Structure formats: C-alpha cells, structure tokens
Amino acid sequence: MTKLNEMTATEAANKIATGEATAEQLVQACLDRISEREDDVQAWVYLDPDYALSQARTADEARNSGKGIGPLHGVPVGIKDIIDTADMPTENGSPIFAGRRTNHDARCVAALRAAGAIVMGKTVTTELANLCPNKTRNPHNLEHTPGGSSSGSGAGVADFHIPLALGTQTGGSVIRPASFNGIYGLKPTLGLIPRGGVLMQSHMLDTVGTYGRSLDDLALITDVISIYEPEDAQSYTGSRGSLRDMLAQEPPRTPRFAFLRTPAWDHAEPEAQKAIEDVAASLGDQCETMDLPEPFDQIIDLHLTVMGAEDLAYYGEYLEKQTELLSDVIKERLEHAKTIRGDAYVKALLARETIYESLVKLLGDYDAVLCLPSCGPAPKSLETTGSAIFNGLWTYLGVPCVSLPKLTINGMPLGVQLVGMRGDEGRLLRTARWLDNQL
Amino acid sequence: MTKLNEMTATEAANKIATGEATAEQLVQACLDRISEREDDVQAWVYLDPDYALSQARTADEARNSGKGIGPLHGVPVGIKDIIDTADMPTENGSPIFAGRRTNHDARCVAALRAAGAIVMGKTVTTELANLCPNKTRNPHNLEHTPGGSSSGSGAGVADFHIPLALGTQTGGSVIRPASFNGIYGLKPTLGLIPRGGVLMQSHMLDTVGTYGRSLDDLALITDVISIYEPEDAQSYTGSRGSLRDMLAQEPPRTPRFAFLRTPAWDHAEPEAQKAIEDVAASLGDQCETMDLPEPFDQIIDLHLTVMGAEDLAYYGEYLEKQTELLSDVIKERLEHAKTIRGDAYVKALLARETIYESLVKLLGDYDAVLCLPSCGPAPKSLETTGSAIFNGLWTYLGVPCVSLPKLTINGMPLGVQLVGMRGDEGRLLRTARWLDNQL
C-alpha cells in the first residue's frame, strides 16, 4: 500500500472522508518525511509540527462529530511564503519582511481552510518571488536547482512532504518548478484564483497556481480556490465550470495538439528539443507542428517590458529606501527597469490583446498547444533557478498552462507543457489527461 | 419668436416632431447663419450644404410618410473631425490624415443617425486633438481663442451654426471650450459614450462629450449615444439610467455643493477666483468649501504622466516617420513624453483608484463638486487654446463634469463647472439644473 504521504491528494481526501485514514495520520506521515528530508531539501521557511497536528486533530474531531466536510478535509497544503496566512509569518523571501505577520489569510488560503485543508506551513520562495535563489534544493539531485520562484512548493510536493501546494507565476514560477521537480503544476488563466493577500509584483502577470501529484489533484485544489474577486480588476470574469466535472468527462473527440517551438526554441537544450519533438511525433495525425505568426516575434521582450515596469512600480521603494536588504540580482533588474519607457509599457499591453487574438485564430481547431515547459531539466547549480523563457510568453498572454511530469533526461525530470485558451482550463486538463494516459 | 437656428435642440426637435417646423427649414437656417459667419469664426473643416439639406429633406419625407421618428429627428449635429463619418472625410486636424476617408461611422455617429439626427459636417479640431491651435476663433471676440481641442464644436454651437455638437476630452477639450464659448458642455464618465471610430490618443483618458444650448439638450443627445461597447475595456459597465428622466425629476432635497479650489487654483486669474468664490458664497449653507486630501497633491502630474505615455504610444510612429507633418508644439510634447518611465505610468494608474476612493469618501454627503472650468475666460490669443489645468484632474479620475455658461468677465463668458461621481451624470445634470435656475 502507498504510504499516506505519497498518495495523491485525491486518494488521501477519499480515505479521510471514508474513515480509512485520519487527518492526523496523514499529517504525521508528512511530518515524518519532512524531518527525514528537510536538512537536505530545505523546502520550508516556516513549519510548526505541533500546530499542523493540532489542525489535523481538529479536522478529525469535526468529521467524527458528524459535521459536513469539504473536498480537502484533512489534506495538508504547502503555502508559498508570499501568500498571507493569519497564523504564520509571511516573509516574502526577503529580510525586508523578516518576522512579518498579518492578521488575515489571503483569499485563496481562506478558501482552502473553508474546504477543510490543513495549512501545513510556508514554503520557500525566492527573494520577492523574483530571480535570486533561496535555500531549497532539487530532491532528485541536491546539486540541482528546484527552480523558482515557487521553489519550496515544487520541491515539497515532489519529495512527498505534502500532496498539494500553492505557487505563483509572474515569469515562469509555477510551471518551471513543476518541470524541474517532476510534478503536476497548473498556472491557470490570469485572475482565475484570487490574489488578495498575495505579494503583488506585477498586476498584469501575477497568477496563483497549484501543484499536485495528478491532474485530479490539480482540479481538486483549483476548484476550491477559483473565486471571482471584485476588488481586482484582473480577476477573471468569465464562467468558472467545475474542473473536476470536466476531468470526469471523456473528450468528445480525440484531442488535437498544435506543437509550437515558440520564439524561445533556440534557448532549449538539444536533448530537450529532441524529447518534445519525439512527443509531438508520437501523436501522429493528432499533432500538427505550427509556426507562430509575426506578432509573436517580440513576445519575449513584451513580457519583460510589462514585468519590468510593474516590478519597479511595486518594488521601487525598496530599491530607494532599503537597498542594503536587496540582493544584487534584484537590484540590477530593478535598475534596468528604469530604462523602460512609459509608451513601451503601454504598447506592450496593447500588443497583448492583438497577439492573443492571433493565437485564438491560429488554434481554433486544436485542443491545446504542446510545447516545452523549460529549456531542459533543472540546471546543476544552486546559483540560478533556471530560465523562464518558455513561460513568460504564456504568462504575458494570461492563458492557462499545465506541466505533466512525463520526460526524463540524464536522470532528471522534464515536464511536457500544454497551453489552452483563457478560461478554458477544463478542456486543458481533460486534454492533458488524455495525453497523460497516452505517454 | 426665436430663430430656428437659435433654438435649443430640445425645442427644435419638438417643433419638427409636431410639424411646426421642418428639418429642411432648420438646416437652412443653420446654413444661412454659417454662411454669414464662417469667414470670421471658421468652425468647420468640412461642410456640404447640399448634402446637409438632402439629409434634412429625407428626414422630412420620413416623418411625412408616417414613419416613426427618433428623439433627434431632423436636428443637425456638428461632429468633431477626429470622429469617423462614413460620408465625409475625417482628417484629425493633421496633414498626416489629409483627405482621409473611412467607410464607416464611429459608433456615436451611427447612434446619432439612428436617432434621426442630421450629420451637419465636421468641426475643426486642433492637431490630433492635442494643443496646437487650428483656425477657429471665439465668436464672442474673434481675437480670442475658442479653446481646444474641440474648437469648432464649441464655437459652432455658441455662434448658432448648430444646436448640438460632439467633442472629446483627454485633458480639458470639452469643458474648456464650453467655458470659453459660453455654452453647455458635458464630459461624461470615462467610457459612457462609445469610442469606436474616434481617434485614440489616450485610452485611459479619451472621453467623448456633448455640447448644447441647455441642460435638456445635453441629456437629449447624451442619452442617444450612451451605449456599452464590449470591445473597449474602458467602456462604462455600470447602469445607464435615462438622463432625460433624471432631469425631469425634482431633486429629493436641496442640492449640496462642495466648493473645491483644487491644486490648480494658483493658476486661475484673480477675477475668475473671485467669480467662483462669489457663486460659492451665494449658495450659503448649501455649499461648503473643502480642501482636497493629500493624495490629490500630485494629481496634475499624474494626469500628465498617463497622458504623455499613452500619447507617445499612439502618436510615436508619426514622430518617427512623419515628423515633418507635425507641429513643433506636438513634437516637443512627444519628445518630452520619452522621459516618462514605465513604472511612473503604472504608479499613476494605481494612484487613480486610490484618489478616486478618497474623493468618494470626501463627497459622500454632497451632490456635486463646484469649481472653475478654466483659469479664466478665453485668452486674447490665437496662438494658444488656453490651459487645461482645471480639467486634467477630473479627466484622470474619469468622473463626469458639466460646464454652465453663467459668468462673464470683461465681456467674455466663463463657465461654472460641476463634477460628480462616476456613472452619476443623472444626478449631476439634475443638480446643475437647480444651480442653473438659482444663478
């Protein structure tokens, strides 16, 4: 029998709901794994085992008293340390916020608790969810980066510390760690998951995402936290169908894929290029290799323009007033962003809709884009979190992306990325399930 | 009896509807006035008298045949020459667009035609709806500017060429000409009137507005063109009550006014300061003089930051490729906009909501802000269109503004500006009616 901490969240939630396991047993199994591995992996910035167990006991008592339970009842979730929690510090990966506590949960955390989840602790983020690495290592090989900025969430799920975790993506911070750590990761449509109580870096880009051990896990946790947030102008206003319901359906036809090398292609390692081309080839007639039209040529720069100007708008005050508490990496990045002109930013936002429309037109007949999620497996370095060049373009367009842990290169995992249209993560997950079974 | 061309649009529309006058008589009266005055005032860039008369005859035939008629049936309207018309050129006040024709009407023009209006011709705009003056003169004194950028619309309504006209405001281009020419003008909430087919200068600021001879006229024309436009992210999404219905109501209580000097105060002429202070004083307990809270200190610069970055995003290509066709005034302005940083633009947009919230809080108990619409009456110069410093702050906040022609300084008109909350132009016009009767 699979150990409790190695089960998918879906299995674990079922066992707790039916009484085959208790939340306390599950949390204890996770804590045992963490105490065994944390010195090496260093996925956590805040973890109080007694408090996690007390939450679990409360959950067990609630169930045993006959109280109705939510879909994540008793299931522990790791929370990236830029997401506010009322009962734990949120330090944003920076000494600027050392010891910072708020007295409220981020909206997504409140929704997790309302669904019965155990807030296990805070997972390591890079500095201000930006590029400078933190302490976490890749559980597949401790000399390799776990990716960033959701480093602890990716490594923690991969290393069986927790079945589920929250991350965020502004460049490639959900999908890249999913690829590097060999787990399932979803960066949904911009604004699908509310951002209230999450460190703001770039309001046109920042997207809360989810990690799990299966596509069902992604649907389970994402459904719980997919909530319209009227205070956020970027909150997704379209319909929000149940992803679990969509995943339960058979596709109405065999899915069709558009394989895109994307303008990032030349940055990919040859083995990674070959691996994804092999996936495309294995799909035969179900997959067509396509070129992106002209407006895509500038997309990588357009993403950097939006991100740079917004980063500087939100973080510029730290650069001015607390520069000694910033890493050289982020200082250079913010200094460089001073060269971004207002009209360039405006044009980058205007181009976003034009390019998205051209994508919709191009992909009208396909169920998903197939592409690389990263340039290759996790680099052998703890001085970098790897390149986000295969992610920024999709973050810029605000479209949902999922990474499936289906490839291996030199013993290190590499994901397969599927991308869908805005608001269509139900179809994206259903298509991913088909591919997951196929590969 | 008032001459047909001097009637309010409301009176003229009633006479045509009841058969007391024909559209042809009205249009002929307007054309007679234009031919008498146009050499001096120069309000028009395109006018085909035969075509205007033929539209009027068609309107008369439609009515006489028993066909149902719209609220503006047979009433001529002047259209600012940055607003597309399928049957006339639209030259945007610039040689770059000399002879330009599109084969479709702007949405607001199409709505006017659907309501039975006669599209009289195209009124003079400054170059690209920006600062550089064009040929129009102030009908009250030909040595004075009519204001800009809606120069011909303001002067044409004031000089009895047409009872109604459309303008647009990015800085102060609707309210300033209303004040300088002594007519009623409304700059509604950002996005209340659709912008499809209107030259885009700044998508966060550009607002289509209306001119008329009474508040009823403003309600009449604005109701007809107040239409949600899903393609425009700035289109106003709140409810759109009938302004005519609101104007027909008595205020439920005597209106209360907040007199604001605003951060522009020191730029006003002493006579104008005294005139508006006298208005405030005449209202006694119904008017309270208030100071704006701290976030307003930077509002004039914030408006210029948004306008500069967006102007350059939309007009930068002319600066690069057709610089010889631009005036020195706009070239300098666009060159200066290159110094606006991306993060400054982002912060200016973020501040907009914060400041608006503080305004809502401040004014919760009042029906309207009372303030100057311009620094004074129209300057004695044709080399400038006057300062927009009393307008930019309200355009930036996206709130509705109305100017009432109630003051005179040294024989030149000066308006009284009232400002309301977003989407509340019904209350604003009703409050303005009360004040209009009071003064």
Q: What is the mean pLDDT of residues A234-259?
A: 95
Dig out the tokens for A262 from the structure.
Answer: 């994307």
Residue A430 pLDDT level (bands cut at 50, 70, 90): very high
Q: Largest alpha-carbon pair distance within chain A?
A: 62
Cα A326 to Cα B331: distance, rounded to the nearest angstrom: 40
> Mind telling me how many Å the CA of A414 is from chain B's nearest CA?
36
Kindly determine whether residue A343 and residue B312, on different chains, have CB atoms separated by under 8 Å: yes
**Catalytic residue, candidates A15, A94, A149, A151:** A149
Provide the chain B residues 337-356 that lie in CB contact (below 8 A) with chain A: 337-338, 340-347, 350
Tell me, what's the pLDDT at B306? 98
Residue B118 pLDDT level (bands cut at 50, 70, 90): very high
* Entry pTM: 0.92
The tens digit of pLDDT for each residue in B48-57 reads 999 999 999 9
Tell me, what's the pLDDT at A348? 98
Tell me, what's the pLDDT at B217? 98
Identify any residues that bridge with B209 across adjacent strands, giving them in sequence order.
Answer: B167
Q: Is the pLDDT of residue B169 over 90?
A: yes
Mutation target among B343, B352, B353, B354 for the A interface, most CBs of A within 10 A: B343
Choose the closest CB to A343 out of B313, B346, B347. B313
A80 tagged catalytic: yes
Residue B333 pLDDT level (bands cut at 50, 70, 90): very high
The tens digit of pLDDT for each residue in B14-31 reads 999 999 999 999 999 999
Tell me, what's the pLDDT at B100? 98
Structural domains of chain B sorted by starting position, each given as residue range(s) with its CATH number in brackets: 4-247 (3.90.1300.10)
Share of chain B above pLDDT 90, in %: 97
Q: Which stretches within A104-174 are classed as H helix?
A: 107-114, 151-158
Tell me, what's the pLDDT at B231? 92
Kindly determine whether residue A342 and residue B316, on different chains, have CB atoms separated by under 8 Å: no
Q: What is the mean pLDDT of residues B148-153?
A: 97
CB atoms within 10 A of CB A62: 17
All residues at 6 or more sequence positions from B24 whose CB lies less than 8 Å from its CB, including other chains:
B53, B56, B57, B60
Tell me, what's the pLDDT at A188? 98
Dig out the tokens for B340 from the structure.
Answer: 């606006």
Mutation target among B301, B341, B352 for the A interface, most CBs of A within 10 A: B341
Tell me, what's the pLDDT at A363? 87
Cα A10 to Cα B67: distance, rounded to the nearest angstrom: 67
Instruction: Label residue B317 exposed, middle or buried (CB < 10 Å: 0-12, 13-18, 19+).
Output: exposed
The tens digit of pLDDT for each residue in A198-214 reads 999 999 999 999 999 99
Tell me, what's the pLDDT at B364? 85
Whether B206 and chain A come into contact, CB under 8 Å, resolves to no
All residues at 6 or more sequence positions from A72 whose CB lies less than 8 Å from its CB, including other chains:
A9, A13, A112, A115, A116, A117, A164, A220, A221, A224
All residues at 6 or more sequence positions from B197 whose CB lies less than 8 Å from its CB, including other chains:
B83, B84, B102, B104, B105, B106, B107, B108, B109
Whether B308 and chain A come into contact, CB under 8 Å, resolves to yes
CA angle B136, B138, B143 (to 5 degrees): 95
> Mind telling me how many Å the CA of B337 is from chain A's nearest CA?
8
**Catalytic residue, candidates A151, A153, A173, A214:** A173
Cα A147 to Cα A138: distance, rounded to the nearest angstrom: 8
Q: What is the mean pLDDT of residues A245-258?
A: 94
**Catalytic residue, candidates B15, B80, B122, B187:** B80
Tell me, what's the pLDDT at A294? 84
Choose the closest CB to B345 out of A311, A342, A350. A342
Whether A305 and chain B come into contact, CB under 8 Å, resolves to yes
Tell me, what's the pLDDT at B2? 86
The tens digit of pLDDT for each residue in B126-142 reads 999 999 999 999 999 99
Q: What is the mean pLDDT of residues A344-355?
A: 97
Question: Does the predicted interface ipTM exceed a cut of 0.90?
Answer: no
Cα A116 to Cα A126: distance, rounded to the nearest angstrom: 28
Residue A309: its chain B contacts at CB < 8 A?
A: 341-343, 345-346
Whether A336 and chain B come into contact, CB under 8 Å, resolves to no
CB atoms within 10 A of CB B166: 26
Q: What is the mean pLDDT of chain B?
A: 97
Mutation target among A170, A315, A334, A343 for the B interface, most CBs of B within 10 A: A343
Tell me, what's the pLDDT at B363? 87
The tens digit of pLDDT for each residue in B352-392 reads 999 999 999 988 889 999 999 999 999 999 999 999 999 99
Instruction: Label residue A32 exposed, middle or buried (CB < 10 Å: 0-12, 13-18, 19+).
Output: middle
Q: Is the pLDDT of residue B293 over 90?
A: no
Q: Is the pLDDT of residue B294 over 90?
A: no
Cα torsion angle, B302, B304, B309, B313, sign: positive
Q: What is the DSSP string of A229-254?
A: -TT-TTS--S----HHHHHHSPPSS-
B80 tagged catalytic: yes
How, if at all, do strands B401-409 and B412-419 pair?
antiparallel
Tell me, what's the pLDDT at A293? 85
Q: Is the pLDDT of residue A1 over 80?
A: no
Residue A423 zone, left/alpha/beta (φ > 0; ψ -120 to 50; rest): left
A214 tagged catalytic: no
Q: Tell me the three state secondary structure of residue A404.
A: strand
Q: Is the pLDDT of residue B432 over 90?
A: yes
Size (chain B), residues: 439
Cα A208 to Cα A206: distance, rounded to the nearest angstrom: 7
> Mind telling me how many Å the CA of B318 is from chain A's nearest CA?
14
Q: Tell me the three state secondary structure of residue B292.
A: coil
**Catalytic residue, candidates A15, A80, A122, A187:** A80
Whether A231 and chain B come into contact, CB under 8 Å, resolves to no
Exposure of A142 in the CB half-sphere (CA atoms within 13 A) = 8
Q: Give residue B343's Cα distance to chain centre.
A: 31
Residue B393 pLDDT level (bands cut at 50, 70, 90): very high
Tell me, what's the pLDDT at B265? 97
Q: What is the mean pLDDT of chain A?
A: 97
The tens digit of pLDDT for each residue in B204-260 reads 999 999 999 999 999 999 999 999 999 999 999 999 999 999 999 999 999 999 999
Choose the closest CB to B346 out of A343, A345, A347. A345
